[in-house]
């Protein structure tokens, strides 16, 4: 499966996964295509990343007024991108 991400979303994913789930980073093949980053991964890895993003959204995605934080917006986008 190939998923195309904006550079900012890809950078967020890479930064956080490299700290929290470095095992997943090793399994992602990336190339740049037309200003976006295309990543190739299997369905299991995509589901794992989606689940990771959902868990992280619950921890850091909302402020005291239950409004989305900037991290929350990026995590929601990742959840949508990795949902199939």
Contact 48, 25 (CB under 8 A): no
How far is it, in rounded angstroms, from Cα 74 to Cα 84? 18
| Domain housing 30 | 2-81
Write the pLDDT tens digit of every residue in 16-38: 999 999 999 988 999 998 889 99
User: What is the pLDDT, as a whole number, of residue 34?
Assistant: 87
Torsion of CA 47, 45, 38, 12, to 10 degrees: 80
* Domains in the chain, number: 1
Query: Other CB atoms closer than 10 Å to residue 49's CB: what's the count?
Result: 23
Tens-place pLDDT, residues 44-82: 999 999 999 999 999 999 999 999 999 999 999 999 999
Tokens of 44: 């299991």
């Amino acid at each position: 499966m190939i998923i195309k991400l904006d550079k900012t979303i890809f950078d967020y994913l890479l930064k956080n996964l490299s700290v929290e789930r470095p095992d997943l980073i090793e399994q992602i093949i990336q190339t740049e295509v037309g200003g976006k980053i295309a990543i190739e991964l299997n369905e299991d890895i995509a589901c794992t990343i989606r689940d990771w993003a959902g868990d992280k959204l619950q921890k850091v995605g909302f402020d005291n007024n239950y409004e989305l934080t900037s991290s929350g917006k990026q995590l929601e986008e990742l959840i949508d991108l990795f949902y199939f």
